[in-house]
Amino acid sequence: MARVKVLDKEFETSIPEQTILEAVDRVAGKINADLSDKSPLFVCILNGAFMFAADLMKRVSIPCQITFVKVASYEGTGSTGKVKQLIGFNEDIKGRTVVLVEDIVDTGVTIEGLVAQVRSLGAADVRIATMLFKPQSCKKDVCPDYVGLDIPNDFIIGYGLDYDGYARNLRDIYTLIK
Ligand code: IMP
Ligand code: MG
Protein backbone atom coordinates (compact mmCIF):
# COMPACT_ATOMS: atom_id res chain seq x y z
CA MET A 1 0.00 0.00 0.00
CA ALA A 2 1.34 3.40 -0.94
CA ARG A 3 1.67 6.14 1.65
CA VAL A 4 1.55 9.89 1.08
CA LYS A 5 2.21 12.79 3.41
CA VAL A 6 0.00 15.85 2.97
CA LEU A 7 0.88 18.83 5.16
CA ASP A 8 1.03 17.40 8.71
CA LYS A 9 -0.82 14.11 8.07
CA GLU A 10 -0.09 10.65 6.63
CA PHE A 11 -2.46 8.73 4.42
CA GLU A 12 -2.43 5.28 2.80
CA THR A 13 -4.14 3.97 -0.35
CA SER A 14 -7.61 2.63 0.36
CA ILE A 15 -9.34 2.64 -3.05
CA PRO A 16 -7.20 2.18 -6.17
CA GLU A 17 -8.01 4.03 -9.39
CA GLN A 18 -9.24 0.88 -11.14
CA THR A 19 -11.88 0.22 -8.44
CA ILE A 20 -12.98 3.85 -8.67
CA LEU A 21 -13.38 3.68 -12.45
CA GLU A 22 -15.34 0.42 -12.30
CA ALA A 23 -17.73 2.13 -9.88
CA VAL A 24 -18.06 5.13 -12.20
CA ASP A 25 -18.92 2.71 -15.05
CA ARG A 26 -21.71 1.20 -12.96
CA VAL A 27 -23.16 4.60 -12.01
CA ALA A 28 -23.06 5.79 -15.64
CA GLY A 29 -24.73 2.58 -16.79
CA LYS A 30 -27.64 3.08 -14.39
CA ILE A 31 -28.06 6.73 -15.32
CA ASN A 32 -28.00 5.87 -19.05
CA ALA A 33 -30.72 3.28 -18.46
CA ASP A 34 -32.89 5.40 -16.13
CA LEU A 35 -32.77 8.81 -17.79
CA SER A 36 -32.45 8.09 -21.52
CA ASP A 37 -35.57 10.10 -22.41
CA LYS A 38 -35.24 12.83 -19.73
CA SER A 39 -32.53 15.08 -21.19
CA PRO A 40 -31.11 15.62 -17.69
CA LEU A 41 -29.14 18.59 -16.44
CA PHE A 42 -26.11 17.39 -14.47
CA VAL A 43 -24.91 19.75 -11.75
CA CYS A 44 -21.29 19.26 -10.73
CA ILE A 45 -20.79 20.43 -7.15
CA LEU A 46 -17.39 22.16 -7.02
CA ASN A 47 -14.74 21.80 -5.95
CA GLY A 48 -14.61 18.16 -4.90
CA ALA A 49 -16.78 16.59 -7.61
CA PHE A 50 -14.78 17.84 -10.61
CA MET A 51 -12.91 14.59 -11.19
CA PHE A 52 -15.89 12.28 -10.68
CA ALA A 53 -18.04 14.53 -12.88
CA ALA A 54 -15.45 14.41 -15.70
CA ASP A 55 -15.12 10.61 -15.57
CA LEU A 56 -18.91 10.18 -15.24
CA MET A 57 -19.78 12.49 -18.12
CA LYS A 58 -17.38 10.64 -20.44
CA ARG A 59 -19.48 7.53 -19.82
CA VAL A 60 -22.93 9.15 -20.04
CA SER A 61 -24.18 8.51 -23.56
CA ILE A 62 -27.68 10.06 -23.44
CA PRO A 63 -28.57 13.65 -24.45
CA CYS A 64 -27.74 15.88 -21.47
CA GLN A 65 -26.26 19.16 -20.26
CA ILE A 66 -23.82 19.92 -17.46
CA THR A 67 -23.43 22.97 -15.25
CA PHE A 68 -21.47 23.84 -12.11
CA VAL A 69 -22.22 25.22 -8.66
CA LYS A 70 -19.68 25.86 -5.94
CA VAL A 71 -20.19 25.33 -2.24
CA ALA A 72 -17.90 24.84 0.76
CA SER A 73 -18.59 23.25 4.14
CA TYR A 74 -15.36 21.53 5.18
CA GLU A 75 -12.45 23.08 7.04
CA GLY A 76 -9.39 20.86 7.55
CA THR A 77 -10.67 17.35 8.25
CA GLY A 78 -14.16 18.14 9.54
CA SER A 79 -17.53 19.56 8.44
CA THR A 80 -18.37 23.02 9.79
CA GLY A 81 -22.07 22.13 9.51
CA LYS A 82 -22.65 25.34 7.50
CA VAL A 83 -22.69 25.48 3.72
CA LYS A 84 -21.41 28.56 1.93
CA GLN A 85 -22.63 28.95 -1.66
CA LEU A 86 -19.89 30.56 -3.73
CA ILE A 87 -21.31 30.10 -7.26
CA GLY A 88 -25.03 29.52 -7.83
CA PHE A 89 -27.36 28.40 -10.61
CA ASN A 90 -27.61 30.43 -13.82
CA GLU A 91 -29.83 28.25 -15.95
CA ASP A 92 -33.58 27.79 -16.02
CA ILE A 93 -34.21 24.46 -14.33
CA LYS A 94 -38.00 24.66 -14.26
CA GLY A 95 -39.46 21.29 -15.29
CA ARG A 96 -36.01 19.70 -15.73
CA THR A 97 -34.64 16.40 -14.46
CA VAL A 98 -31.63 17.50 -12.42
CA VAL A 99 -28.83 15.16 -11.33
CA LEU A 100 -26.65 16.58 -8.55
CA VAL A 101 -23.13 15.18 -8.88
CA GLU A 102 -21.16 14.97 -5.62
CA ASP A 103 -17.78 13.56 -4.66
CA ILE A 104 -19.01 12.38 -1.26
CA VAL A 105 -22.09 12.57 0.94
CA ASP A 106 -20.94 12.73 4.56
CA THR A 107 -23.27 14.53 6.98
CA GLY A 108 -25.67 15.24 4.10
CA VAL A 109 -25.84 18.95 4.92
CA THR A 110 -24.47 20.06 1.55
CA ILE A 111 -26.68 17.86 -0.58
CA GLU A 112 -29.82 18.55 1.48
CA GLY A 113 -29.41 22.28 0.92
CA LEU A 114 -28.90 21.86 -2.80
CA VAL A 115 -31.85 19.48 -3.20
CA ALA A 116 -34.10 22.07 -1.51
CA GLN A 117 -32.74 24.81 -3.75
CA VAL A 118 -33.24 22.83 -6.97
CA ARG A 119 -36.81 21.94 -5.92
CA SER A 120 -37.61 25.57 -5.14
CA LEU A 121 -36.32 26.53 -8.59
CA GLY A 122 -39.02 24.25 -10.05
CA ALA A 123 -37.15 21.10 -11.13
CA ALA A 124 -39.48 18.24 -12.08
CA ASP A 125 -37.18 15.57 -10.59
CA VAL A 126 -33.99 15.83 -8.52
CA ARG A 127 -31.55 12.92 -8.28
CA ILE A 128 -28.29 12.54 -6.41
CA ALA A 129 -25.24 10.80 -7.88
CA THR A 130 -22.31 10.52 -5.48
CA MET A 131 -18.99 8.77 -5.97
CA LEU A 132 -18.72 7.99 -2.25
CA PHE A 133 -21.22 7.60 0.56
CA LYS A 134 -20.45 7.49 4.28
CA PRO A 135 -23.66 5.89 5.55
CA GLN A 136 -22.71 5.88 9.24
CA SER A 137 -22.33 9.61 9.38
CA CYS A 138 -25.33 10.63 7.26
CA LYS A 139 -27.59 12.57 9.63
CA LYS A 140 -30.01 13.81 6.99
CA ASP A 141 -32.99 12.26 5.31
CA VAL A 142 -31.45 12.40 1.83
CA CYS A 143 -30.71 9.15 0.11
CA PRO A 144 -28.42 9.23 -2.93
CA ASP A 145 -30.00 7.58 -6.00
CA TYR A 146 -26.65 6.57 -7.49
CA VAL A 147 -23.70 5.60 -5.28
CA GLY A 148 -20.25 4.62 -6.56
CA LEU A 149 -18.91 3.09 -3.34
CA ASP A 150 -20.00 2.91 0.31
CA ILE A 151 -17.08 3.73 2.61
CA PRO A 152 -16.43 3.78 6.35
CA ASN A 153 -16.52 6.99 8.34
CA ASP A 154 -12.84 7.92 7.87
CA PHE A 155 -11.27 11.05 6.47
CA ILE A 156 -10.09 10.48 2.89
CA ILE A 157 -8.29 12.39 0.14
CA GLY A 158 -7.63 12.03 -3.58
CA TYR A 159 -9.84 11.78 -6.67
CA GLY A 160 -11.07 15.34 -6.12
CA LEU A 161 -11.19 15.21 -2.31
CA ASP A 162 -8.83 17.48 -0.43
CA TYR A 163 -7.08 18.14 2.83
CA ASP A 164 -6.89 21.94 3.12
CA GLY A 165 -6.96 22.25 -0.66
CA TYR A 166 -4.23 19.68 -1.30
CA ALA A 167 -4.33 16.17 -2.81
CA ARG A 168 -7.34 16.65 -5.12
CA ASN A 169 -5.07 15.60 -8.01
CA LEU A 170 -4.31 12.09 -6.69
CA ARG A 171 -5.70 9.32 -8.92
CA ASP A 172 -6.34 6.88 -6.06
CA ILE A 173 -8.21 7.47 -2.80
CA TYR A 174 -6.22 7.51 0.46
CA THR A 175 -7.37 7.19 4.08
CA LEU A 176 -5.93 9.12 7.01
CA ILE A 177 -3.68 6.99 9.22
CA LYS A 178 -4.79 7.62 12.80
P1 IMP B 1 -21.50 16.90 3.94
O2 IMP B 1 -22.17 18.23 3.72
O3 IMP B 1 -21.08 16.71 5.36
O4 IMP B 1 -22.28 15.74 3.39
O5 IMP B 1 -20.11 16.93 3.22
C6 IMP B 1 -20.01 17.15 1.93
C7 IMP B 1 -18.68 17.76 1.52
O8 IMP B 1 -17.64 17.70 2.52
C9 IMP B 1 -18.21 16.92 0.39
O10 IMP B 1 -18.73 17.39 -0.81
C11 IMP B 1 -16.71 17.02 0.48
O12 IMP B 1 -16.29 18.10 -0.31
C13 IMP B 1 -16.43 17.26 1.94
N14 IMP B 1 -16.00 16.00 2.59
C15 IMP B 1 -16.76 15.11 3.27
N16 IMP B 1 -16.04 14.07 3.73
C17 IMP B 1 -14.76 14.29 3.31
C18 IMP B 1 -13.52 13.55 3.44
O19 IMP B 1 -13.43 12.46 4.04
N20 IMP B 1 -12.43 14.12 2.86
C21 IMP B 1 -12.47 15.31 2.19
N22 IMP B 1 -13.60 16.03 2.03
C23 IMP B 1 -14.74 15.52 2.59
MG1 MG C 1 -17.86 18.30 -2.36
d(Cα 35, Cα 87) in Å, to the nearest integer?
Answer: 26
Give the pLDDT confidence score for residue 137 in this predicted structure: 74
Q: Which residues line ligand 1 (CB under 6 A)?
A: 48, 73-74, 79, 102-111, 155-157, 161-162
Residue 100, domain member (yes or no) = yes
Domain interval for residue 107 = 18-150
Residue 101, domain member (yes or no) = yes
Give the pLDDT confidence score for residue 140 in this predicted structure: 76
Give the pLDDT confidence score for residue 90 in this predicted structure: 86
Q: Which atom of ligand 1 is nearest to the CA of 109?
A: 2
Distance of CA 45 from the midpoint of ligand 2 (Å): 6
Residue 107, domain member (yes or no) = yes
Give the pLDDT confidence score for residue 122 in this predicted structure: 97
Distance of CA 82 from the midpoint of ligand 1 (Å): 12
How many domains does one find in the chain? Answer: 1
Residue 155, domain member (yes or no) = no
Residue 102, domain member (yes or no) = yes
The chain-wide mean pLDDT, for the chain, equals: 94
CATH of the domain at 69: 3.40.50.2020
Best probe residue, ligand 1, of 71, 73, 173 (max atoms within 8 Å of C-beta)? 73
Q: Which residues pair with 175 in a beta bridge?
A: 12, 156
Query: C-alpha angle with apex 32: 27 to 36, nearest 5 degrees?
Result: 150
Residue 178, domain member (yes or no) = no
Residue 35, domain member (yes or no) = yes
Residue 94, domain member (yes or no) = yes
Protein residue with its CA nearest to atom 20 in ligand 1:
156
d(Cα 115, Cα 19) in Å, to the nearest integer?
Answer: 28
pLDDT in tens, 114-158: 999 999 999 999 999 999 999 887 777 788 999 999 999 999 999
pLDDT in tens, 51-83: 999 999 999 999 999 999 998 876 777 777 777
Give the pLDDT confidence score for residue 78 in this predicted structure: 75
Quote the pTM value.
Answer: 0.95
Give the pLDDT confidence score for residue 69 in this predicted structure: 95
Distance of CA 106 from the midpoint of ligand 1 (Å): 6
Q: DSSP H helical segments within the chain, as ranges?
A: 17-34, 50-59, 109-120
